[in-house]
């Protein structure tokens, strides 16, 4: 029994050491691969498909401010005001989910970054608990600019497409730096489910969502503005 307790203590200790060390490392080092990317490759292989993987890391200042504003407008309008968890959106989601058939989420960009960088997409209580833990670490060790930079570089933006630069190249034949407001709003409109919604071939629903995001972008101010 004592050996088991000591073993468990070592496992917990190493978990904290490795998790804190990883978050600290990625505060400075570009992220070239995430668990989600690996999961998508495995899923493709299981289906007998040729895996697609398009991703290129670019620095924060090489990403269009249009895309930054579009993503904030679409995903997390109080990004600069909260510490990782948006209580306003959480309370709103709890109220709305009492009558909605499909539950509405309230994840912030910080939470999504934690999930994309360290965890897996399928929801469970274990993943939710770890997501809270990694979100707290990220908010403690990173500034908001870094969180947004990592999110924009690692977000899933299409089938086998990850990050701002890859989707700009493959869907709009441009660079992340040159994305227009209209293009950025289309990309942001896909984020709830980028493997269903396609910014290259937008549906009527996506065009409607694009118009909504474009209007909301006018109210978004980046921290460095």
Tens digit of each residue's pLDDT (9 = 90 or more) over 158-204: 999 999 999 999 999 999 999 999 999 999 999 989 999 999 999 99
Separation between Cα atoms, residue 74 and residue 223, nearest integer Å: 17
pTM (two decimals): 0.92
Q: What residues contact 154, with CB distance under 8 A and at least 6 apart?
A: 31, 34, 36, 113, 116, 117, 162, 163
pLDDT value for 192: 86
Residue 176 DSSP one-character state: G
Quote the tokens at residue 194.
């980028």
Token match 């299981």: residue? Answer: 46
Cα–Cα distance for residue pair 137/141, rounded to 1 Å = 6
Q: Output the pLDDT for position 225.
A: 47
The SS3 assignment for 55 reads strand
From 113-117, 130-134, 219-223, the region with the lowest mean pLDDT: 219-223
Averaged pLDDT of the chain: 91
**Domain 35-45+54-217 carries which CATH code?**
1.10.3810.10
Of 125, 176, 140, 162, give the one whose Cα is nearest residue 31.
162
- Token pair, residue 186, equals 């289309």
Query: What is the model's pLDDT at position 223?
Result: 80
Where exactly are the structural domains of the chain? Answer: 35-45+54-217
Q: What confidence category does residue 100 fall into, taking pLDDT thresholds of 50, 70 and 90?
A: low
């Amino acid at each position: 029994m004592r050996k088991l307790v000591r073993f468990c203590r070592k496992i917990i200790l190493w978990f904290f050491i490795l998790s804190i060390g990883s978050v600290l490392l990625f505060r400075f080092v570009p992220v070239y691969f995430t668990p989600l990317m690996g999961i998508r490759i495995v899923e493709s292989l299981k289906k007998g498909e040729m895996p697609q993987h398009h991703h290129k890391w670019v620095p924060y200042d090489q990403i269009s401010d249009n895309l930054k504003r579009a993503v904030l407008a679409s995903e997390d309008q109080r990004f600069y005001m909260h510490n990782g968890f948006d209580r306003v959106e959480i309370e709103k989601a709890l109220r709305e989910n009492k009558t909605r058939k499909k539950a509405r989420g309230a994840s912030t960009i910080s939470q999504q970054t934690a999930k994309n960088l360290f965890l897996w997409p399928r929801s469970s209580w274990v993943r939710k608990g770890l997501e809270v833990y990694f979100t707290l670490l990220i908010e403690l060790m990173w500034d908001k600019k870094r969180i947004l930079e990592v999110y924009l570089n690692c977000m899933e933006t299409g089938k086998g497409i990850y990050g701002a630069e890859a989707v700009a190249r493959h869907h709009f034949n441009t660079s992340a730096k040159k994305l227009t407001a209209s293009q950025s709003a289309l990309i942001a409109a896909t984020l709830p489910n980028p493997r269903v919604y396609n910014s290259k071939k937008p549906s009527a629903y996506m065009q409607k969502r694009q118009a909504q995001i474009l209007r909301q972008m006018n109210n978004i101010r980046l921290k460095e503005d």
